[in-house]
C-alpha cells in the first residue's frame, strides 16, 4: 500500500516501485522461474475521479456517509481482492489515508496468507500543494483555451487537480501511519528528494519484506 498526501508523488513512486518489482520478478538469471505476478491498482486504473473525495460537493447532512467515496473504496477493495494471493504482488497506489481502511486491507492479505506493507511518501505540505496549484492553473488555462483543450486535460486523469478545498480537507483528514501497529508495518518511507540510489535501497528492503528473506508466513489468527 502506498500512502501520502494528495499530489505528494505517490503515483510517481508507485510506478517506480512497479518497475523495480517487475525487474526482480523477471530476473531469472539464477535459473529460477518467476514466482510472482505483479499488479498495479490505483484510482486511475479503476477510473475513479478525484471528486469522490470531495466532501464539499455533498449537502451537509450527508457528509458522514460520503457514498461516492465509500463506493470507490468498495471498487478498490474488490479489485485488490480479485487478484491478491501468495503468488500475486499488488501495488496499491492511492491516498490510503484512513487507518481503518489500511487495517481492512492488512486483514485481507492475512486471509490469503501473504504479507502486506506500507510505503509512505513523505513530501512537505507546501510542495504537494504547489503541485496541485500548478495543475489547477493548467486546467484553467486549458478551459480558457476552448473545449478541445479542456477535454484533453480531462482525459489525462492522473494529471487532474483536486479542487482546493478537497485538497485541504484530505490533508486534514489524513491519518498518519503508525509503525507500531500491525497493519501499518513494516513501514517504509520515501522522501521527495530521495535519489535513485536511496529509492532503490528502500525498494530492496520492501522486496525482502514481501518476497525475500524477510517474508513472513502470515497466519490468519496472528
Residues 147-166 that bind ligand ADP (CB under 6 A): 158
Cβ at position 174, least distance to ligand ADP in Å: 12
CA–CA–CA angle 161, 165, 171 (5° rounding): 85
| Residue 203: CB minimum distance to ligand ADP, A | 14
16 vs 185, beta carbon nearer ligand ADP: 16
CB of 92 to ligand ADP, least distance (A): 12
Which C-beta is closer to ligand ADP: that of 3 or that of 114? 3
Nearest distance, CB of residue 121 and ligand ADP, angstroms: 7
Does 11 bind ligand ADP (CB under 6 A)? Our answer is yes
CA distance 52 to 69: 5
Q: Which is nearer to ligand ADP, 158 or 201 (CB)?
A: 158
Q: Rounded distance, CA 208 to CA 222, Å?
A: 20
**Cell 529460477 found at:** 32
Helix (H) or strand (E) holding 64: none
CB of 155 to ligand ADP, least distance (A): 15
Ranges of beta strands (E only) in 4-49 are 37-42
The residue (of 8 and 120) whose beta carbon lies closer to ligand ADP is: 8
Q: What's the rounded Cα separation, in Å, for the pair 153 and 141?
A: 10
Residue closer to ligand ADP by CB (options 36, 97) is 97
What 3-state DSSP class applies to 221?
A: coil
Distance CA 45, CA 220 (A): 29
Residues whose CB is less than 8 angstroms from the CB of residue 174 and which lie 6 or more positions away in sequence, other chains included: 5, 95, 97
**What residues numbered 171-200 form the site for ligand ADP, per CB under 6 A?**
192
What does the binding site for ligand ADP look like in residue numbers (CB under 6 A)?
4, 6-12, 131, 158, 192
Amino acid at each position: 500500500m502506498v500512502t501520502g498526501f494528495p499530489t505528494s508523488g505517490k503515483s510517481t513512486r508507485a510506478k517506480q516501485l512497479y518497475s523495480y518489482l517487475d525487474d526482480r520478478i523477471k530476473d531469472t538469471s539464477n535459473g529460477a522461474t518467476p514466482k510472482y505476478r505483479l499488479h498495479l491498482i490505483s484510482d486511475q486504473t479503476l477510473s475513479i475521479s478525484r471528486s469522490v473525495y470531495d466532501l464539499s460537493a455533498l449537502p451537509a447532512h450527508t457528509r458522514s456517509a460520503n457514498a461516492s467515496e465509500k463506493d470507490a473504496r468498495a471498487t478498490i477493495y474488490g479489485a485488490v481482492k480479485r487478484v491478491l494471493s501468495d503468488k500475486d504482488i499488488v501495488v496499491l497506489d492511492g491516498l490510503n489515508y484512513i487507518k481503518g481502511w489500511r487495517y481492512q486491507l492488512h486483514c485481507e492479505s492475512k486471509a490469503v496468507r501473504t504479507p502486506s506493507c506500507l510505503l509512505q511518501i513523505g513530501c512537505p505540505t507546501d510542495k504537494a500543494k504547489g503541485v496541485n496549484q500548478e495543475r489547477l492553473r493548467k486546467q484553467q488555462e486549458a478551459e480558457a483555451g476552448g473545449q478541445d483543450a479542456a477535454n484533453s486535460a480531462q482525459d489525462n486523469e492522473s494529471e487532474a487537480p483536486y479542487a482546493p478545498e478537497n485538497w485541504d480537507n484530505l490533508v486534514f483528514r489524513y491519518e498518519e501511519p503508525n509503525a507500531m501497529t500491525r497493519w501499518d508495518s513494516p513501514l517504509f518511507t520515501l522522501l521527495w528528494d530521495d535519489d535513485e540510489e536511496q529509492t532503490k535501497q528502500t525498494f530492496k528492503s520492501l522486496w525482502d519484506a514481501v518476497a525475500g528473506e524477510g517474508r513472513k508466513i502470515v497466519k490468519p489468527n496472528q
